[in-house]
Amino acid sequence: MITIEQLITRIEQRQPIINKAEIDAEQLRHEFSSIGSLTTADNKQLSFLADPHYISSLSRSQAGAVLITADYRDQVPETAVALVVASPYLAYASASQIFAQDSELNGIHPSAVIADSAVIGDQVYIGPFCVIGDHVQIGARSSLYAHVVVEANADIGHDCVIKSQVVIGHDSVIGSHVRLHAGVSVGAEGFGFAPTRDPSATGWERIAQLGRVVIGDHVRIGSQTCIDRGAIDDTVIGNHVIIDNLVQIAHNVRIGDGTAIAAQTAIAGSTSIGKRCIIGGAVGITGHIEITDDVTLSGMTMVTKSIKTAGSYSSGTAAMPTANWRRAAVRFRQLGRD
Amino acid sequence: MITIEQLITRIEQRQPIINKAEIDAEQLRHEFSSIGSLTTADNKQLSFLADPHYISSLSRSQAGAVLITADYRDQVPETAVALVVASPYLAYASASQIFAQDSELNGIHPSAVIADSAVIGDQVYIGPFCVIGDHVQIGARSSLYAHVVVEANADIGHDCVIKSQVVIGHDSVIGSHVRLHAGVSVGAEGFGFAPTRDPSATGWERIAQLGRVVIGDHVRIGSQTCIDRGAIDDTVIGNHVIIDNLVQIAHNVRIGDGTAIAAQTAIAGSTSIGKRCIIGGAVGITGHIEITDDVTLSGMTMVTKSIKTAGSYSSGTAAMPTANWRRAAVRFRQLGRD
Amino acid sequence: MITIEQLITRIEQRQPIINKAEIDAEQLRHEFSSIGSLTTADNKQLSFLADPHYISSLSRSQAGAVLITADYRDQVPETAVALVVASPYLAYASASQIFAQDSELNGIHPSAVIADSAVIGDQVYIGPFCVIGDHVQIGARSSLYAHVVVEANADIGHDCVIKSQVVIGHDSVIGSHVRLHAGVSVGAEGFGFAPTRDPSATGWERIAQLGRVVIGDHVRIGSQTCIDRGAIDDTVIGNHVIIDNLVQIAHNVRIGDGTAIAAQTAIAGSTSIGKRCIIGGAVGITGHIEITDDVTLSGMTMVTKSIKTAGSYSSGTAAMPTANWRRAAVRFRQLGRD
């Protein structure tokens, strides 16, 4: 159980509790088991009003405490402690981490295969059947769950969480406080081939990928996402980049600090993405272009040229009844006539 | 070898063989080694006419038996036994399972790492290098192939088939008769972050995902598909849901019973899909919307708003010669002018 | 360190060095540590001019040698050795392979679980925790990295490189000189179901997939890509096919020799793709169609019908400012009215 006092301490790592002075000693001792939405939370649950759309649920909420902006604090029911902050959503994020039951992970499982030349920091956890190659370095307090493969010469920072069945290719550099979810592939060979078209020989000559993947600090990468090594130079992921599941980051892509990328997006080779961009799901970005800082791309946008001005961009057409769509698609096709 | 008698028994679990009384004892003993199409099947193969488009292949077919509707039974050649059913395609599906050579899987491989507190049912198979966490429950006759990781407190029903390198996150609940193909990720942490945008600190505050993934009975999930755990509440997959490869199901998505989802589709967070929907490949569905029951979405449809009426929906434009497409795309862009 | 003489030998496996007679003995002994771009390479690096766009970087390049066409050889600075070839890009590809530091892989790791009936060729490497099923065959000099699972009766040719956590389903046939990157799934069960729609029973009857995956020689398949086994007949990938990451190849697809497929593309069941096609990223191709030889599809193209004429095809609309896009999308919708 977590007290309000503990919650406040965690939340204030990011932002002040504006009404802290008004919370009395008894309220500070109130205990919480988890987090709930305004409509479902009970007295032992913390809730929050992040989006004013849900204001109608506030007055009847049974939550034990509510994270809320100053604008709505008067509407918090008497049974709940109001915790007033500038960003209730950020406060909820901070509080959520206290309730996560991370398993206690200790030591190095005897089944792991670890090269003698690997350098493993203090309090590192290495799970069953991990394979750690020559000259790998793993920083203090990093955890590798079951079946993680780290090839030779990779360098992993401290306080990383690397979930099961991640593969990290040779010479990859991964910062600290990085989270890689199940099945991520970092540092596989990029998709580089030169056509031969010699009828008597192979169709494609493979280009060995001599660059690395270099990932900054506080990066999060979702399940099954692939980040390929560079051809000559490196593929580079900045600090505080967050990437969802099933994303393709091709060789020599560069992603600026703080950019977020949703699931199923594909970024082709040698493209450079700026800082603080928000890239929706299933976006496709062609190769060898540049997208400047602070660009938002809505889901399924197709980007075929560089974007030089910050702002929001979209493409595509939205779902309509199929019979209507057939007519619209035919008329779109007619637009293409000479 | 499988006799017609055995085939009939299996097919009649789903639908009657309409002309069963007319099949004589000699025909019942006819033996089959496999299934073939009308054009390639030989006398030891079963075939079927599911789509009248292929009727022209029927009269010359060498198949030993043909699953067929009453409408076409007169056209079955004399060398083949006609098996008359309402749905030949369903009968083919039923029959196919007899011919699948499932390997015999027994026991628990000595290399598996299984927590003492895990509860393993009767006749469960656990393959090499599986890792089973604390308090995991696995129901009778379920099979876990090589390299399956099941984190603490997960609950897996009976008669499941879990192929190699599946990762099941902690506290996940999986029903019975569920099939998970190679590399599936169930219960990884959802993609939830609150922006901080504090220039001196991290760009994103992680939202610990406190919900679970709950999967019903008779569900099928294809290779590399990701189903993330919920933020507060659970991500829920209904009974009889079938999902193809490389699909993204974000946190707090809910999918109704009997819905089918083809490969590369992405469903963003907190969206709810109804029952008996048919979702094509590479569809993108935005977050926080509802799609009602019995909706069909054709491949690559972009869904940005709730769909409240059953029916078929589509979007996008189809391939045309690139020169024409360039003109059409320019004219589409002009439609966006003030 | 690699000498120019060694580079020439490797490059001439594909194409002649046109000015070889003019390279003197001292130049032949010049040593290289790696490859660099024209702007960053130093005297110990090889560079190339593949695209005339970069001609302005040539005169100031510090590279020790430059691969170049006859047209531009006069502009190579005196400090660099000019190596004149018809295709500098192809020559770069050939040369790159010399610089790749492939780890020396020998023997069979004692942790691997290998069926007694498996037939393992000479100089095969099998890494930690691999699982090799009954009657599997692996040809000479093939390497299986850590955690590779090969199910019963699969047949892998010689000189293959199979990276960590690849799963190869039973009865798959893989040619020689094939490269499968981390996490590939070959031969999982195809997505085949017959609707039952019986309200008292299951929604879908599974169709056991009785075909195989058959992959030719010199094929490359990227991380997390899925190639499903066929329903009755086989799924077939021709020789010299190259496939990027996160691609979906459904059951009974056939892909012709030399075709290239970029990341996130999805090809639905029973579709046939010709030879030497170039398929961009995130393309969607519907099922049961045919695409002829020498077709190019630009990224994100939606293909809903067979393509019978070679050439370049595209679809979709490109990114524009979101405000303009909203208007354009509304007007597209209006095109669909009666």
Residue C86: the pLDDT is 95
List the chains bordering chain A where 3 or more Cβ pairs fall under 8 Å. B, C
Domain A2-99 CATH (choose: 3.40.190.120, 3.40.1390.10, 3.40.50.10860, 3.30.70.2860): 3.40.1390.10
The tokens of C171 are what?
A: 């009865």
Which of A87-101, A124-138, B125-139 is least confident?
A87-101
Compare all CA atoms of chain A with the CA of C90 and give the residue at the minimum distance. A194
> Above 0.90 for ipTM, yes or no?
yes
- Which residues 259-288 of chain C have a CB within 8 Å of chain B? 264, 266, 268, 282, 284, 286
Q: Are C318 and B327 in contact (CB under 8 A)?
A: no
Q: Going by C-beta distance under 8 Å and a sequence separation of 6 or more, which residues neighbour residue B26? A: none
For A161, the closest chain B residue by CA position comes to B189
Judge whether C14 is closer than 8 Å to chain A, CB to CB.
yes
The secondary structure of residue C73, as a DSSP letter, is G
Cβ distance B264 to C268 less than 8 Å, yes or no, reads no
Tokens at B286, concatenated: 């935005």
Q: How many residues does chain B have?
A: 338
State chain A's mean pLDDT as an integer. 95
pLDDT for res A64:
96
Residues ≥6 apart with Cβ < 8 Å to C102: none
Helix (H) or strand (E) segment spanning residue B303:
strand B302-303
Of A212 and B103, the one with more pLDDT? A212
Which of chain C's residues have a Cβ under 8 Å away from the Cβ of B276? 197, 203
pLDDT, average across residues B17-30: 93
C47 vs C87: CA distance, rounded Å: 13
> Is B170 touching A (CB cutoff 8 A)?
yes
User: Is A321 within 8 Å of B311 (Cβ atoms)?
Assistant: yes
Which residues, in sequence order, are CB contacts of A286 under 8 Å at separation 6+? A268, A271, A303, A304, A305, C281, C299
Catalytic residue (one of A158, A177, A181, A251): A251
Which residue in C245, C324, C332 has the most chain A C-beta atoms within 10 A of its own C-beta, making it the best mutation to test that interface?
C245
Q: What is the pLDDT of residue B104?
A: 73
Based on the residue annotation, tell me whether A251 is a catalytic residue of this protein: yes
Domains of chain B, by residue range, sit at 2-99, 113-313
> Which residue type sits at B269?
G
- CATH of the domain spanning C113-313: 2.160.10.10
Q: Report pLDDT digits (tens) over A220-252.
A: 999 999 999 999 999 999 999 999 999 999 999
**What would the mean pLDDT of A103-117 be, rounded to a whole number?**
92
pLDDT band per the 50, 70, 90 thresholds, residue B197:
low
C69-94 pLDDT tens trace: 999 999 999 999 999 999 999 999 99
Question: Which of C:179-198 have CB within 8 Å of A?
Answer: 179, 181-183
| Residue spans of alpha helices (H) in chain C | 4-11, 25-28, 88-99, 322-335
Q: Which pLDDT score, from 0 to 100, does residue B319 have?
A: 95
Question: CA–CA separation, B211 vs B232, rounded Å?
Answer: 5
Q: What is residue C337's predicted lDDT score, i.e. its pLDDT?
A: 80
**Do the domains A2-99 and A113-313 sit in the same CATH topology, yes or no?**
no
Options B30, B218, B251, B288, the catalytic residue: B251
Q: Would the pLDDT of C106 be above 90?
A: no
Q: What is the CA radius of gyration of chain C?
A: 25
Q: What is the pLDDT of residue B335?
A: 85
Average pLDDT over residues C123-148: 98
Mean pLDDT of all residues in C217-228: 98
For residue B317, give the H/E element and its range.
none
Whether residues C224 and A228 touch (CB distance < 8 A) is answered with no
| Residue A199 touches chain C, beta carbons under 8 Å | no
Of A87, A96, A322, the CB nearest to B207: A96
Pairing between β-strand B173-174 and β-strand B213-215 as defined by DSSP bridges: parallel
DSSP letter assigned to residue C91: H
Percent of chain C at pLDDT > 70 equals 97
* B278-279 and B260-261 beta bridge pairing: parallel
